[in-house]
Amino acid sequence: MLELAPLLVSALILGLLGGGHCLGMCGGLMGALTLAIPAEQRGRRLQLLLAYNLGRILSYSLAGLLLGLAGWAIAGSKAEVAMRTMAALLLIAMGLYLAGWWSGLTRIEALGRGLWRHIQPLTRRFMPVSNLPRALVLGGLWGWLPCGLVYSTLLWASSQGNAVNSALLMLAFGLGTWPVLLATGLAAERITTLLRKRGVRMAGGLLVILFGIWTLPGPHQHWLMGH
């Protein structure tokens, strides 16, 4: 667990720094889900919003577990090296996106649109949101919304060669996205303003790029470990 701790912190930071992207992707959906709460349930709005986000984060963890099984199955093979290389390149692309230097990462979202077309109609069955189980399931379905940031993190998590670790990394990533999507009022404005500051985004992007370089398989890892 001590060895996993730095990776969990990294996943948490990836989710937090990607909060601006989450607002663009999910902010409108979050508003729609809030409006889907009946008037008589408005007093439980915070509980229902928590359930939405819990369902979303659990769906990230499930995806991490499933893809992590694939990573575990190919551990020790040449395919594992290829997966780690692809994950590292996606992390670098994610860093470039977070820093505002390149937005090509969003093109990856097209890969999940076919699946989302089948999932989206299911969301109507749970509206209006009259109780916590409905909110939890609806949030779980929301977690499969196509997102380049999620896909990149998912591939990186799955390249660890351990399905449970992959699920934990995606859980940490999801928790990192939570503050921006859940916070309301002045606190949300402060968080959003901080995350959208160019200096913060550039620093975060550079950190993710360096982490991607570190993830790339090669002799540089042994050199870095020695220093």
Interval 66-115: pLDDT, tens: 999 998 888 888 888 888 888 888 888 888 887 888 877 777 777 788 88
Give CA–CA dist 125/116, Å, rounded.
Answer: 15
209 within 8 A of 95, measured Cβ to Cβ: yes
Q: Is the pLDDT higher at 171 or at 117?
A: 171
Give CA–CA dist 163/203, Å, rounded.
Answer: 30
Give CA–CA dist 54/133, Å, rounded.
Answer: 11
pLDDT in tens, 128-182: 778 889 989 988 998 898 888 888 889 889 988 899 999 999 999 999 888 777 6
Give CA–CA dist 216/185, Å, rounded.
Answer: 41
CA 218 to chain centre: 27
Rg (CA), the chain: 18
Which amino acid type is present at position 117? R
**Cα angle, residue 95 at apex, residues 93 and 96 outer, rounded to 5°:** 65
Phi, psi of 3 (to 5 degrees): -70, -30
Give CA–CA dist 159/77, Å, rounded.
Answer: 12
Q: What is the pTM of this model?
A: 0.81
Phi, psi of 211 (to 5 degrees): -65, -35
**Domain boundaries, given as residue ranges, for the chain:** 3-189
- For residue 35, the SS3 value is helix
| Cβ neighbours for 199, distance < 8 A, ≥ 6 positions apart | none
pLDDT in tens, 30-44: 666 666 667 777 677
138 within 8 A of 55, measured Cβ to Cβ: yes
